[in-house]
């Protein structure tokens, strides 16, 4: 391949190799731009399923435009091969970077890098794409400290239910970073990515994966992933805080509903840790100077010269930046808490201008109210997908006028039992994918909000009618009408099949 031409690119050198293909460094023949070209292995070109998976990677990447995701320039399919032409980043894979450049990263440095990656995954998840092969080697850190997500080769496009490239019962991804549901061959969703991200953060902080594949068999690793918590971080890095341990424990919980439900939620937990550490720094006593410099003290056994005038008293050097820096950090933290109110503190809700609560109270134009309804709907369905009624109840009014055709539903009695019955008897997982472009919004004279929109409901039934359908995801297209009161609490829900 060296010296060959793919579209307007000349292949210069080979820079990597994976299970499906090789990656080459190439130069554009007219523009002064480099690119990374991923070529499907020649012996796989005639494999229909592999070709489809390669196209799937191109489709996933083409739909993602984010500063923390490698950009796809072009895709070429010929009888001789399949080629992905991608953005080239000068840098190192994150595992190599930690191993050869920095060693285990301190918490603040790890969080600064990792939250950028979480932004990229949150963007992909919002567009219905999960990665399913997250690991440090699939995160590239550039020479300018930018971080990019690589390799969507086994990404799953959630709304593309007909491709069937990954069947229930098959295992995808790299073993050390697999979630328990992936190990079991069950369906993977964005919470599987959250688990793999937790394991990746573990490795960034300790310099090693949680399991030693050199001394453990694949079966041993599978068993530990399903049954045992990750080793304690301080076993490998004593400098890691207990708060960070708690964050990774939640991200890598065995049950998906016990993890962070979104990448954004994961990011907020890490940012809260930084804020806590900044606050703790302010409570530490800061030396202010003014004492005698120990290096200038008279040695204890040396007599002082009798006729020498005493030296003038020295003032403290004006080089202590810690106190003003601490004040700046404190003001920044306080500003963030006041304006965004991430902890949902009630006294701040009226002045936290960037919080959802403030926007709900102060939305005045039709567009502002529509955007507030959209945010509330997304949070509402995220809560429903968490399979925890306490997450759902704040979104409903106490009495619901209409719920799927049932009148005057009591939230605590009727609705709670309906959700419990559904989770216990009908579905194991469910997803609501809203077509925001279809959404129609209106407001009545009393200030109630109505949203009508199309969405796709995906679920796994507890019991399939046919044995071969057990564990498979089903999909139903629906149109929903959701009404909210002035406080944006739901009091009317009507769904119809499209």
Stretch 61-78: mean pLDDT, rounded? 85
pLDDT of residue 328: 77
Task: Give the domain ranges of the chain.
Answer: 5-87, 91-270, 363-497
CA dist list (Å): 126 to 59, 159, 222, 429: 16, 11, 29, 17
pLDDT of residue 45: 76
Q: Which helix (H) or strand (E) holds 264?
A: helix 263-283
pLDDT of residue 320: 62
Q: How confident is the model over 219-238, as pLDDT tens digits?
A: 888 889 999 999 999 999 99
Distance (Å, whole) CA 346 – CA 126: 29
> Looking at per-residue confidence, does 282 or 272 come out higher?
272
CATH no. of 91-270: 1.10.510.10
Q: Which helix (H) or strand (E) holds 60?
A: helix 48-62
CA dist list (Å): 48 to 44, 52, 171: 8, 6, 19
Q: How confident is the model over 104-144, as pLDDT tens digits?
A: 999 999 999 999 999 999 998 998 888 888 999 889 998 88
Stretch 35-57: mean pLDDT, rounded? 79
Distance (Å, whole) CA 203 – CA 104: 8
The pTM (predicted TM-score) of the whole model is 0.55
pLDDT of residue 441: 93
Instruction: Spell 118-141 as b/e; 16+ CB within 10 A means b.
Output: bbbbbbbbebbbbbbbbbbbbbbb
pLDDT of residue 193: 94
The radius of gyration computed from the CA coordinates of the chain, to the nearest angstrom, equals 28
Stretch 361-375: mean pLDDT, rounded? 80
Instruction: Spell 323-348 as b/e; 16+ CB within 10 A means b.
Output: eeebeebeeebeeebeebbbeeeeeb
Mean pLDDT, the chain, whole residue set: 80
| CB-based burial label for 283 (10 Å; 0-12, 13-18, 19+) | exposed
Give the domain 5-87 fold. Answer: Phosphorylase Kinase; domain 1 (3.30.200)
Q: Cα-flanking dihedrals φ and ψ of residue 136, to 5°?
A: -55, -35
Stretch 10-21: mean pLDDT, rounded? 82
Q: Return the top range by mean pLDDT from 10-19, 255-264, 321-330, 342-351.
A: 255-264
Helices (H), 386-415: 389-392
Annotated catalytic residue within 95, 119, 133, 189: 133
Stretch 269-292: mean pLDDT, rounded? 64
| CB-based burial label for 402 (10 Å; 0-12, 13-18, 19+) | middle
Q: How confident is the model over 140-184, as pLDDT tens digits?
A: 998 888 899 987 754 454 433 333 333 333 333 478 899 999 888
CA dist list (Å): 53 to 59, 186, 331, 476: 10, 19, 50, 25
pLDDT of residue 173: 44
pLDDT of residue 338: 61
pLDDT of residue 382: 86
Instruction: Spell 26-59 as b/e; 16+ CB within 10 A means b.
Output: beeeeeeeebbbbbbbeebbeeeebeebbbbbbb
**Number of neighbours of residue 286 by Cβ within 10 angstroms:** 11
CATH 3.10.450.50 for domain 363-497, yes or no, is yes
Q: Note if 133 is an active site residue.
A: yes
């Amino acid at each position: 391949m060296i010296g060959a031409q793919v579209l307007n690119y000349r292949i210069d050198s080979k820079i990597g190799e994976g299970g499906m293909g090789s990656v080459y460094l190439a130069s554009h023949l007219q523009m002064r731009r480099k690119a990374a070209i991923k070529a499907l292995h020649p012996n796989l070109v005639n494999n229909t399923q592999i070709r489809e998976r390669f196209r799937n990677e191109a489709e996933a990447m083409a739909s993602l435009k984010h500063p923390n995701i490698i950009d796809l320039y072009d895709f070429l399919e010929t009888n001789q091969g399949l080629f992905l032409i991608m953005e080239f980043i000068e840098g190192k894979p994150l595992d190599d970077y930690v191993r050869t450049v920095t060693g285990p990263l301190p918490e603040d440095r790890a969080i600064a890098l990792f939250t950028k990656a979480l932004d990229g995954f949150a963007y992909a998840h919002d567009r219905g794409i999960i990665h399913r092969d997250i690991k440090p080697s699939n995160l590239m850190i550039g020479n300018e400290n930018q971080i990019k997500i690589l390799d969507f080769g086994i990404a799953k496009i959630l709304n593309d239910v007909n491709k069937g490239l990954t069947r229930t019962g098959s295992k995808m991804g790299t073993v050390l970073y697999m979630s328990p549901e992936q190990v079991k061959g069950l369906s993977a969703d964005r919470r599987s990515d959250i688990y793999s991200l937790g394991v990746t953060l573990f490795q960034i902080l300790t310099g090693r994966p949680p399991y030693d594949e050199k001394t453990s068999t694949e079966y041993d690793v599978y068993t530990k992933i399903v049954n045992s918590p990750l080793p304690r971080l301080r076993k490998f890095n004593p400098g890691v805080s207990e708060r960070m341990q708690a964050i990774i424990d939640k991200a890598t919980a065995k049950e998906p509903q016990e993890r962070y439900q979104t990448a954004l939620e994961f990011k907020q937990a890490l940012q809260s840790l930084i804020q806590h550490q900044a606050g703790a720094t302010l409570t530490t006593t800061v030396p202010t100077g003014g004492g005698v410099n120990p290096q200038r003290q008279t040695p204890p056994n040396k007599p002082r010269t009798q006729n020498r005038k005493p030296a003038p008293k020295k003032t403290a050097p004006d080089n202590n930046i810690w106190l003003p820096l601490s004040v700046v950090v404190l003001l920044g933290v306080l500003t963030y808490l006041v304006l965004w109110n991430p902890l949902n503190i009630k006294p701040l809700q009226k002045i936290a201008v960037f919080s959802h609560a403030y926007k709900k109270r102060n939305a005045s134009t039709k567009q502002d109210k529509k955007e507030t309804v959209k945010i509330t709907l997304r949070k509402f369905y995220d809560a429903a997908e968490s399979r925890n009624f306490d997450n759902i109840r704040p979104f409903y009014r106490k009495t619901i006028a209409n719920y799927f055709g049932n009148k005057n539903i009591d939230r605590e009695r009727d609705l709670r039992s309906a959700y419990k019955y559904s989770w216990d008897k009908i579905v194991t997982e469910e997803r609501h994918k809203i077509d925001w472009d279809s959404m129609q919004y209106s407001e009545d004279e009393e200030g109630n909000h109505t949203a009508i929109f199309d969405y796709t409901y995906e679920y796994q039934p507890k019991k399939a009618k046919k044995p071969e359908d057990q564990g498979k995801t089903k999909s139903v297209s629906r149109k929903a009408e959701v009404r909210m009161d002035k406080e944006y609490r739901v009091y009317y829900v009507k769904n119809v099949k499209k």
